[in-house]
Amino acid sequence: MVIDLKVEVRLFATFREGREKKYFLDMPEGSRVIDLLDMLKIPAEEVSILLLNGRDGDAMRILDESDVVAVFPPVGGG
């Protein structure tokens, strides 16, 4: 039996272009962070900062119910 997990995804800066800034996604149990990036068509190599529940995250981590994933592209400035 496949159980869906509810996960919140927050996108920042250029990742918001053509997308919502926040998503609430149903993901199959056993999904990894990289699976939700694929679903949103965000290449993992373009992610500069990935936070999982407010802490440094890993794209290969398996998602848990109610996880909050924040995704940031490289940010320039000066």
pLDDT (tens digit per residue) in 31-45: 999 999 999 999 999
Would residue 33 count as lying in a domain?
yes
Band the pLDDT of 77: cuts 50, 70, 90. Answer: low
- For the chain, the domain total comes to 1
The CATH number for 52's domain is 3.10.20.30
Q: What is the pLDDT of residue 3?
A: 72
Would residue 17 count as lying in a domain?
yes
For the chain, the distance separating the N- and C-terminal CA atoms, rounded to the nearest angstrom, is: 51
pLDDT(12) > 90: yes
Give the Cα separation of 46 and 24 in Å (integer). Answer: 21
Would residue 78 count as lying in a domain?
no
Residue type, 52: L
Would residue 77 count as lying in a domain?
no
Give the Cα separation of 17 and 34 in Å (integer). Answer: 19
Give the Cα separation of 59 and 20 in Å (integer). Answer: 20
Q: Are 67 and 42 a contacting pair, CB within 8 Å?
A: no
Q: CA 20: distance to chain centroid?
A: 13
Would residue 24 count as lying in a domain?
yes
Q: Give me the percent of the chain exceeding a pLDDT of 90.
A: 90
- This model's pTM is above 0.95: no
